[in-house]
Structure 1
Amino acid sequence: MIRGDCFHCGEAYTKHGMSRHLRACLPESPGESTLHLRVAGARRTDYWLHLAVEADATLATLDSFLRRFWLECCGHMSAFTVGDTWYERPYSDDDPPIGSGTTRRSMDVSIGSVAGSADGEFDYEYDFGSTTALEIRVVDADGWAVETLADRVADSVAVDDEKTTDAGTSSVGEADDEIVLLARNRPPEIDCGSCGAPATKVCETCLWERGPDAWLCEACASTHEDDCSRPSYLPYVNSPRVGVCGYTG
């Protein structure tokens, strides 16, 4: 299973193991003003994040973080689905209903106010054409100060430059003053579909037709055009949107 790094202490765990680890690793604090969220690819489950988010931060803030850190390529629409409610961006009161029993709302609502109605689980989609779907779960709630966590995480990561590079964590500690990255998966190992060497890029054109054969190392990419009518290369990046719609990280 894909492991990831805790940016608070530097230890490595699996996605679910990280949920248990962070309960013990993060400092105890009274109250429930901060949420521990686990975000993972719905179809590409090897990609995941653990976040500390202030409970009164809005879904719009979380959307902005996910776009900037993991998803943004062309300014596509996005939406959270919480129960029977669709929180979308952009939002307009003039838009027609999207289905029977489904309510459309703006993302300008606090995460804490909607997470309870979803039993701690809700979904997110970016781009309704070439969709990247995420599953979000509230793992825990406590009184951690996000600013303090961000400082501790940044100090911990700065001590270990090699681990920072391996995890692709240049944005650790970045937030909207309301979100901090606690842990992230290490990049999954993907082999070149032609020779088996580590892949460095993917042919977007071939990804949906050939699957694993679309992943290429530098050497094989140079000859790939002989087999592809419309070669379009994207770099291998640590995101569930890798290989989709021009996303380059």
Structure 2
Amino acid sequence: MPDGTCFLCGDSYTKRGMARHLQSCLADTASSGEDSAAIIQIVGEHRPDYWLYVAIAPSTTLATLDEFLRGFWVECCGHLSAFTIDGVQYDRPHDEDAPAGFGPPPQSMDVPLDEVLENVDDATFGYEYDFGTTTALSVSVVETGSWGDDAIASSLVKDVSPVENVIVLARNEQPERTCADCGDQATVVCQPCLRDPDAGAYFCESCADAHDDGEGYHAFLPVVNSPRSGVCGYRG
């Protein structure tokens, strides 16, 4: 499991250690105030070596969090997406006239995070992007404290967020991928081979040129720091 970098101080920690570190680092670098912020951990459900910690105001809508996840980690072709919280699906785009299926009817993402979590015992929920080649994420509220967004943002040593109201506090380092043929650092991933659990999917550029994926064509994507690396048309 790769370590990650804290963007408040620049130090490196493990995924588990980062949660403890952020509590003390926020106390040291972001002054307390009347506003509050929720610290959220986001992890690739099937690829847990990709992870983030972000800070958002509890009043931030699911739509804003979805916009962030798309822009930072998963967007490739404008696919559908949805959060599932306590058995209720919050989808994008939302169609109020869609026929009802089993379970509670889908809801719009235009709802604040603190409102949907108000009566939920477990503040961990799911997110899915693209219901064909799905990227699934696990989202957990780690802590809520009296740090204002402005105080946190002004303390960052590096700002990498594409969305103003979501602040990236920490991110995993790029997982090391080695070429399946020569063992050098991999730069591309073969999409057909990634779907085969018994095949090596990562290659350096030299070995990729000679690679036979068994399907008569080469479908390579760059190795990027995202749980959607190698999927659909995602290029980072």
Name the TM-score class by shorter chain: over 0.9
Structure 1 residues 9 and 64, CA gap change in structure 2 (3 angstroms): same
- In the alignment, which residue of structure 2 is the partner of 1:231? 218
Aligned partner of residue 16 in structure 1, secondary structure: helix
Which of the numbers 103, 106, 114 marks the counterpart of 2:105? 103
Which of the numbers 82, 103, 117 marks the counterpart of 2:85? 82
- In the alignment, which residue of structure 1 is the partner of 2:17? 17
2:113 is aligned with 1:126: no
2:212 is aligned with 1:216: no
- In the alignment, which residue of structure 1 is the partner of 2:76? 73
Give per-residue Cα distances to partners, 1:130-151, cap 9 Å, x unaligned.
Answer: 0000000000001212122122
**Aligned residues: CA RMSD:** 1.7
- In the alignment, which residue of structure 2 is the partner of 1:178? 165
Q: Is the 8 A contact 1:115 1:121 kept in 2?
A: no
Aligned partner of residue 32 in structure 2, secondary structure: coil
- In the alignment, which residue of structure 2 is the partner of 1:6? 6
Give per-residue Cα distances to partners, 1:139-186, cap 9 Å, x unaligned.
Answer: 000121212212211xx23xxxxxxxxxxxxxx253533110000000
Deviation at 1:117?
3.4
Aligned residues: 232
Deviation at 1:32?
6.4
Q: How does 1:187-226 map to 2 (within 5 A)?
A: 187-209=174-196, 213-225=200-212
Q: Could you tell which deviates more after superposition, 77-86 or 25-34?
A: 25-34
Q: Is the 8 A contact 2:189 2:202 kept in 1?
A: yes
The structure carrying a bigger helix percent of its residues is 1
Give per-residue Cα distances to partners, 1:186-213, cap 9 Å, x unaligned.
Answer: 0111111111111100011221125551
Aligned partner of residue 209 in structure 1, secondary structure: coil
Deviation at 1:224?
1.0
Q: Percent identity?
A: 46
2:101 is aligned with 1:114: no
CA distance in 1, matches of 2:106, 2:170: 32
Structure 1 residues 211 and 113, CA gap change in structure 2 (3 angstroms): farther
Deviation at 1:114?
1.6
Deviation at 1:228?
4.8
Aligned partner of residue 138 in structure 2, secondary structure: strand
CA distance in 2, matches of 1:197, 1:70: 26
CA distance in 2, matches of 1:139, 1:212: 37
Q: Could you tell which deviates more after superposition, 212-221 or 236-245?
A: 212-221
Unaligned runs of 5+ in 2: none
Give per-residue Cα distances to partners, 1:205-240, cap 9 Å, x unaligned.
Answer: 221125551110111011114855121010000000
Deviation at 1:30?
5.0
Unaligned runs of 5+ in 1: 158-171
Q: Could you tell which deviates more after superposition, 116-125 or 231-240?
A: 116-125
Q: Is the 8 A contact 2:68 2:161 kept in 1?
A: no
TM-score normalised to structure 2 length: 0.92
Q: Is the 8 A contact 1:206 1:228 kept in 2?
A: no
CA distance in 1, matches of 2:202, 2:151: 40
